[in-house]
Structures are given as C-alpha cells and as structure tokens.
C-alpha cells in the first residue's frame, strides 16, 4: 500500500487535469463526482467546491442539478450557508421536481436560524405534492418528521403532533417518532396521552416511550427501569475502549468532574451553584465539562466562577470529550444530565473516570452500566426499591437535594398584582404541565368543589394544555374561571409569586423537584403524593428533611382529604405555616454548609484508593 505522501501528488495531478478538462467543458459528470469524493475523503472540501464550480461554469448538462446539489452540500459542510442556500435554489430551478434539493434547502434555512422559512419549504413539498404517503414515501417520512421535530422545538405542539401522527400512519414502526408523539400529547395535556394510533397498540406506544416521558406516564419502578435500559441499549455504544485506570490517582485534592448541558439559567444550576461554591478547595479540585449555551446570565457566571477548571466540550465528539476527561485524571465524574434532552451518555460509556455517578438531572435510574452510583437519601430510594436501579444508591444522611440560599427574589407582590382574587383559598401548582395526569387533575377539581371560593393557580405552559385543562374543568363541573394561569416570568419574580399562594399541590407520579424546593424556600407548604419511584418521592424527601411528614400522603384519597382540611382548618393551617417558617431556619434542607459536608464525605467514601 502506498503511503499517504505517495498518494498526494497523484491526487494533485488528477485535480489539475480535472480543472483543465472542466474548463473546456469536456469532463464527464461521473468522473467529476468520483474525484470529488476522493478529495472529500482527504478533507479537501475547498478543492471539491472549486472543482464543482469550475465544471458548472463551463458545462451544459441535463444533469446540472446534481452537480449544483453536490456543491451546495459541500458549501454547507464548509459553513458557507448563504452560498449553500443560493446553490440549492439553483438546483431546483434546474429541476423543479428535485425533491432532495427542496428538502436540503429547508435544512440549510433552519441552520441559518430561519426555521419558519424551512417549515414553509417543507410544507410546499406536501402541498404540490412532491411527496406523500404513497409518493416518494421515504422522503415523505423525512419531511414530516423534520417538520414535527422543528415545530416541537418552536413550541408549536399541536402542529408537531399532527405531523408525527401522519408519519406514524404511513409507517408505525418508528420508535423515535412514537416517543416524541406521546410526549407532545403529555405537554398539551391531551388525556389520555397514552392511546393507540393507527397500526400501534397502547402497549407498543408504551414500549417506545422515552425515559423522561415514562416518569409521568407510570409510577411503576420496574417499567421505568425497563424503559431506561432499553434506551441505553438502543442509543449508547457500549463497545468502546475503557479509559479508566484500575486504581485511583492519589491526588492531594480529589478531582471531581461535573458533566452538563445545563450550566445556564436552568433548574440544575439553580440547585447546584452553591454546592460548587462551597466545596472545600483544600480537599477538592472541581472541573466542569460544559456543552451549555452561554445565556449571559448571572447564574451562569456564578457557575463558571465556582469551578477551578471550566471546559467547553460542545465542539468535541464523545470520544474526544472522554479523552479530555481522562487526561485530567478525574477521580469522580458526576453526570448532571441523565437521560434528559441534550444528554451525552456515550461519554460515560468510555469510563473516563474510575468512579462515575449521576445526580439531579434525571430523577430515575439511568439504566447505564457505566454509572456506578446515584446520589440519594433513604426516603428517596428506600431499601426495598434498590433492585429497580442499575446504580448503587450513594446515600446522603439528611437529604439528596442541594439548594441555593443566594437565589434572588423580587419584591413580594400582593394578590392583585398576580391577577388573583382578593378572597378565597389559593392552591397552586407551577409544575411543567406535562407532569399532570387526568387522575390528579380530576382530584384537584374535586378539591375545588369541596372548598367553596377556592382557586387553582397554574403555570401557563402552552395554549393547548391550558385549553385542555379548561375543558376538563368544565367536564368536572368546575367553573373554568376558577383556574388562573400565570405566565412565565424571570426567576426572581417567579419566586416572589409563591407568597401570594397558600398551598402547593404536587403532581404525581412526577413530583416537583426544583419547584418544590423553591416553594418551600419561600415559605409555601407543599402537599405531595409519594409512590415507589425516585420521581414520585422527591418532594417527600424535602418534607422529610423539614420534619413535616403530615404534608406527605400515600394515596390519592388521602391527598384529597389533606388538601381540603388544610384549606378549611384555619388554625391548623396557621400552625403549619409557623412550623414551616421555623423549619426553614433549622432543618437540614437549606443548611448548605451541612449539606456540602455530607456530600463531600459521601463522595470521598467511594473514591478509588491508590
């Protein structure tokens, strides 16, 4: 085999000859494509672009649209996106029914941040039609799936659901599409979210459900475990070389690495920033590995400043990111992402650290065989539920969740400023609406019916979920005007808002996490329903740390009764608020120095010895 150095002059001479032949208009398209592929394989994309441009400038061919298309692809790879767009347009001018050209034009528009224009292009392919369920079917699936994905990202949930349903009608055997279709229904509170669709049974839909959607869909820990394991088996490449050493490194300070795409204005950073700030630098050296957007927020600034070393890995592939972590000799690597959007579980598959654990980002088992521990407490993961985790629980003695005592709070509003009535008991639930289930929502309606003059204050998550809940309230015999929807606001305003409510009603089986922490920090009692899973025991863990077990219920009937009694027993409610006020000052929940000591001791206890 010739050396790469020996091949280079041959490629150079072929390129020179091809450019000369193209100048004369005598270079055959097949030969052009073949040489372009060789040049691309040698990472000479600029030469590929030059070659195609020379051929196009001097050649008349009925296949001109192919050369234009290939040139546009290369320009896109070179990030010359406006030129790529113009060239795709030329390719479809040359051949108006060139479906691949139309589709790629949409993709390059999306890459330029012009998503609405991309959707118009793709919709035109359906309207003409250039594609359909029985017309260029594979491309039809690509078009409707791309539209559904982009519409979901743009929070156009109803349109996205419609497109994905059309895709599944044409081909039900698309697990990733099923996954998004189901979660879109959850986001819109389209109940029952879990239902059959043409060609798919309820069981088949459930089987394809994502780990995140399953947290709301079922309180069965076995089903959540099976979903996580299936996800990892399908999405994670476990046949990669392991990088970890057999023993620890013996550093004077233990090196802890934190992985996340949420080092920005995100719930994970709200909860962890003070932990990063307070970990003792005499004992620990902190490394951050970040693929987050830089949102310019003060919170992100605090997070970045809290690390000894902050590494941006968004431009690295998983193998390179793992190699970087290994080169830093990290003793304990803590993944803050889990199986949520933006996760990079393949980094962990390389085992770049001798000990790897998961924390906060995903409230359930990761199903990942390369994650050794999940940070927990004994309420969160009881002894009898440990078999439903692929990780060993690393128990903290008081509470699993860290907090931030420096979170900024706006001036406290009165009811009128929040759009609330002046009288009546205010229940609230500011959870993301996809956590809501019809069973719990119907329970809330029964609570309203039993407490005259009461109100339910909810997050205005999206227009479709709001319409669904208003309709459901009417079906339950509740005047929809008793549901009050609060728009999203900046975090300091959101925190201040809690002081206008009187009781937070938790969701089940996916409890409030950061939201419960926020409510309790602001002195608002949280009534929760605890089940068997991590996600259904988060709020109960916080209340256990506060020594307020009367706010933890274990059945929907008990939950309903407690919600009614708290609203109707004025003296009992007042005493509860006073106890919560005192517990905030004395309990472990918001005692961050104590939490950090517990966290540090737990991490040190599992670090690999030298």
Q: What is the pLDDT of residues 344-364, one digit of tens each?
A: 999 999 999 999 999 999 999
Cite the residue boundaries of each domain of the chain with CATH code 3.40.50.2000. 416-589
Query: Token pair of 408, please?
Result: 């900024």
Q: d(Cα 488, Cα 78) in Å, to the nearest integer?
A: 39
Between the alpha carbon of residue 164 and those of residues 48, 140, 148, 434, the distances in Å are: 37, 11, 6, 18
Residues of the chain with CATH 3.40.50.11380: 254-395
pLDDT beneath 70: ranges in the chain: 1-9
Q: What CA–CA distance (Å, rounded) separates 112 from 589? A: 45
Extract the tokens encoding 96: 């108006």
* 508, 483 contact by CB (below 8 A): no
Question: For residue 288, what are the β-bridge partners?
Answer: 258, 310
**Which residues make beta-bridge pairs with 254?**
284
Superfamily of domain 13-208 in the CATH hierarchy: Tetratricopeptide repeat domain (1.25.40.10)
Q: How many CB atoms sit inside 10 A of residue 150's CB?
A: 21
Q: Which two tokens stand for residue 418?
A: 């929040």
What residues pair up with 311 in beta bridges, in sequence order? 289
491 CB-near residues (< 8 Å, 6+ apart): 265, 270, 407, 408
**Quick count: other Cβ atoms within 10 Å of Cβ 568?**
14
How big is the chain by its Cα radius of gyration, in Å? Answer: 28
Place of tokens 């020379």: 54
pLDDT tens figures, 497-518: 999 999 999 999 999 999 999 9
CA atoms within 13 A on the CB side of 63: 11
Residues with Cβ < 8 Å from 244, sequence gap 6 or more? 326, 351, 352, 353, 354
Closest CA to 307 of 287, 323, 324: 287
Per the structure block, which two tokens stand in for 183?
């979660």
- Identify which of 566, 570, 560, 568 has the alpha carbon closest to the alpha carbon of residue 447: 560
Residue ranges of the alpha helices (H) in 255-330? 267-278, 298-306, 318-327
Q: In the prediction, which pLDDT does 9 show?
A: 57
Main-chain phi, psi angles of 376, to 5 degrees: -150, -175
Q: What is the pLDDT of residue 198?
A: 86
Token pair belonging to 545: 């740390």
Q: Domain 416-589 in CATH: superfamily?
A: Glycogen Phosphorylase B; (3.40.50.2000)
Task: Name the CATH architecture for the domain at 254-395.
Answer: 3-Layer(aba) Sandwich (3.40)
Task: Indicate the pTM of the whole model.
Answer: 0.92
Q: Looking at residue 410, what DSSP letter applies?
A: P
- d(Cα 504, Cα 515) in Å, to the nearest integer? 10
3-state secondary structure of 505: strand
**CB 106: neighbour CB atoms within 10 A?**
25
- Is the CA virtual torsion 233, 235, 241, 247 positive or negative? negative
Domain with CATH 1.25.40.10 in the chain: 13-208
């Amino acid at each position: 085999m010739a050396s790469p150095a020996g091949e280079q002059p041959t490629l150079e001479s072929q390129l020179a000859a091809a450019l000369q032949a193209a100048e004369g208009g005598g270079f055959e398209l097949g030969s052009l494509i073949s040489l372009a592929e060789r040049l691309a394989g040698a990472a000479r994309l600029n030469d590929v672009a030059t070659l195609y441009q020379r051929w196009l400038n001097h050649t008349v061919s009925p296949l001109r649209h192919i050369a234009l298309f290939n040139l546009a692809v290369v320009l896109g790879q070179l990030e010359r996106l406006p030129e790529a767009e113009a060239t795709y347009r030329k390719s479809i001018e040359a051949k108006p029914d060139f479906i691949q050209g139309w589709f790629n034009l949409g993709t390059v528009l999306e890459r330029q941040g012009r998503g609405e224009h991309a959707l118009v292009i793709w919709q035109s392919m359906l309207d003409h039609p250039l594609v359909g369920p029985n017309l260029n079917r594979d491309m039809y699936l690509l078009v409707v799936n791309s539209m559904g994905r982009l519409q979901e990202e743009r929070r156009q949930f109803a349109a996205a659901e419609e497109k994905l349903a059309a895709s599944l009608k044409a081909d039900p055997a698309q697990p990733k599409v099923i996954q998004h279709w189901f979660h879109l229904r959850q986001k819109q509170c389209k109940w029952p979210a879990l239902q059959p669709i043409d060609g798919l049974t309820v069981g088949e839909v459930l089987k394809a459900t994502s780990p995140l959607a399953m947290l709301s869909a079922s309180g069965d820990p076995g089903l959540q475990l099976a979903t996580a394991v299936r996800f990892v088996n399908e999405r994670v490449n476990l046949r990669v070389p392991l990088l970890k050493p057999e023993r620890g490194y013996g550093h004077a300070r233990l090196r802890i690495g934190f992985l996340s795409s949420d080092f920005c204005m995100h719930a994970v950073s709200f909860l962890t920033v003070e932990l990063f700030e307070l970990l003792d630098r005499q004992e620990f050296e902190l490394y951050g590995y970040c693929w987050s957007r830089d949102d310019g927020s003060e919170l992100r600034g605090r997070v970045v400043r809290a690390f000894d070393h902050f590494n941006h890995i968004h431009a690295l592939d998983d193998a390179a990111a793992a190699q970087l972590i290994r080169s830093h000799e990290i003793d304990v690597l803590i993944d803050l992402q889990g199986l949520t959007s933006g996760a990079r579980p393949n980094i962990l598959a390389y085992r770049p650290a001798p000990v790897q654990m998961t924390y906060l980002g995903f409230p359930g088992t990761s199903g990942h065989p390369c994650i050794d521990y999940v940070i927990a407490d004994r309420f969160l993961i009881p002894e009898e539920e440990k078999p439903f985790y692929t990780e060993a629980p690393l128990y903290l003695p008081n509470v699993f969740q860290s907090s931030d005592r420096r979170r900024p709070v706006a001036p406290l509003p009165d009811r009128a400023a929040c759009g609330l009535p002046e009288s009546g008991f205010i229940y609230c639930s500011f959870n993301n609406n996809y956590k809501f289930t019809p069973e719990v929502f119907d329970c809330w309606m029964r609570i309203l019916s039993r407490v005259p003059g009461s109100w339910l204050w909810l997050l205005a998550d999206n227009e479709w979920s709001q319409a669904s809940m208003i309709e459901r309230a009417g079906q339950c015999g509740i005047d929809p005007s008793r549901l009050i929807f609060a728009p999203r606001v900046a975090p300091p305003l959101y925190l201040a808002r809690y002081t206008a409510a009187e009781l937070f009603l938790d969701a089940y089986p996916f409890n409030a996490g950061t939201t419960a922490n926020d409510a309790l920090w602001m002195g608002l009692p949280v009534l929760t329903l605890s089940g068997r899973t991590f996600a259904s025991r988060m709020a109960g863990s916080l209340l256990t740390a506060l020594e307020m077990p009367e706010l933890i219920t274990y059945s929907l009937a008990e939950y309903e009764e407690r919600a009614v009694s708290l609203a109707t027993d004025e003296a009992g409610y007042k005493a509860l608020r006073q106890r919560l006020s005192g517990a905030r000052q004395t309990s472990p929940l918001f005692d961050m120095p104590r939490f950090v000591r517990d966290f540090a001791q737990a991490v040190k206890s599992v670090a690999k010895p030298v």
